[in-house]
Amino acid sequence: MTDSGALKVLEPIKIPSVTDTVFAELHQQILSLELPPGTKVSEVEVAKALGISRQPVRDAFFRLSQLGFLLIRPQRATVISKISEAAVLRAKFVRTALEMACWTAALPLISDSQIEELARTLGDQKAAADANDQKLFHALDDDFHRRICEIAGHEYVWALIREQKAHMDRVRFISLTIGAAQKAYDDHIDLIDALRQRDRSRLETVLTEHLGRIEFILGKIRAEKPEYFQE
CATH topology of domain 85-228: Four Helix Bundle (Hemerythrin (Met), subunit A) (1.20.120)
Cα separation, 75 vs 1, in Å, equals 63
Domain spans of the chain? 18-80, 85-228
| Runs of H (alpha helix) within the chain | 18-31, 43-50, 54-67, 85-106, 112-130, 134-151, 156-164, 166-176, 181-197, 200-212, 214-224
Task: State the pTM of this model.
Answer: 0.82
Residues 6+ away with beta carbon under 8 Å from 174: 33, 221, 225, 228
Cα separation, 133 vs 78, in Å, equals 30
Cα separation, 194 vs 187, in Å, equals 11
For residue range 114-132, list pLDDT tens digits in order.
Answer: 999 999 999 999 999 999 9
For residue range 164-181, list pLDDT tens digits in order.
Answer: 888 899 999 989 888 889
* pLDDT over 90 (residue 35): yes
Would you place residue 184 in the very low, low, confident or very high pLDDT band (cuts 50, 70, 90)? very high
pLDDT value, residue 74: 80
Class of domain 18-80: mainly alpha
